[in-house]
Amino acid sequence: MQSRKIKGTNDWKKYEIELKLDNRAQQIVFGGLLSGTGKIWVDNLEITIDGKPLDQTPEKELDKVQKDQKFDKGSNITFANLNAQNIKNLDLLGRIWGFLKYHHPEIAKGNVNWDYELFRVLPEYQNAKTTAKRDAILIAWIDKLGTVEICKNCKEVSQDAYLKPDSNWMTSSTISKALSDNLQYIQKNRNQGNHY
């Protein structure tokens, strides 16, 4: 109603506001706003979706992420007999998972339930006996997401940025060059704009 402000004293009149409903919406918030002094009366307020009252509207259509319900009741993954190398491997997995969550375009588009993908890769990852096997699993996991197109408007983080993520772990000698190159490529061609 911002473009149709109601001013002064007026008789009762019906007003309608029609908006597109984003499938990602979690709630609908509504109300009346009086700016300045005076009184406002509102009567017969009604919210409908496609002309139907809220209690008669169809269920919200699930997107790809919401349709993936494989681990809704838990993963049944356990961590037993962790040694120093297992912990380092889990640390690396957590870093890569978090990095990809915010940088890989396919995850940003909402094409992958990234939380559940972590559960999918964990059993095989935990069984990796060497760092070479571990890194091969990670590369295959990343490759499964699809090709990352070259970003034409991505810029380097300014050297004098106040808050800058530490990405030195991506070039560490503790991971393979192939994995390092893969991660750096994604960082340079990271998702821009909206994020699921």
Q: Which tokens is 35 given?
A: 């700016």
- Give 123-132 contacts, CB < 8 A, sequence gap 24+: 123/77, 125/89, 125/93, 126/77, 126/79, 126/86, 126/89, 128/89, 131/174, 131/175, 131/176, 132/176
Give the contacts of 53 (CB within 8 A, at least 6 positions apart).
46, 47
- How many beta carbons lie within 10 A of that of residue 176, not counting itself? 16
CB 175 within 8 A of CB 132: no
pTM above 0.85, yes or no: no
Count CA atoms closer than 13 A to 14's CA, side-chain side: 3
Indicate the domain borders of the chain: 64-188
Query: Residues 62-86: pLDDT tens digits?
Result: 889 989 999 999 999 998 889 999 9
Give yes or no for residue 157 having a pLDDT over 80. Answer: no
Q: How far apart are CA 48 and CA 26, in angstroms?
A: 16
End-to-end CA distance of the chain: 29
pLDDT at 63: 86
Give the contacts of 125 (CB within 8 A, at least 6 positions apart).
89, 93, 134, 137, 138
pLDDT at 32: 80
Give yes or no for residue 135 having a pLDDT over 90. Answer: yes
Q: How far apart are CA 96 and CA 27, in angstroms?
A: 32
pLDDT at 27: 81
- How many beta carbons lie within 10 A of that of residue 89, not counting itself? 20
Q: How far apart are CA 29 and CA 21, in angstroms?
A: 12
pLDDT at 22: 75
Query: Residues 27-56: pLDDT tens digits?
Result: 888 878 888 898 988 888 888 888 888 888
pLDDT at 11: 92
User: What's the mean pLDDT when you consider all of the chain?
Assistant: 90
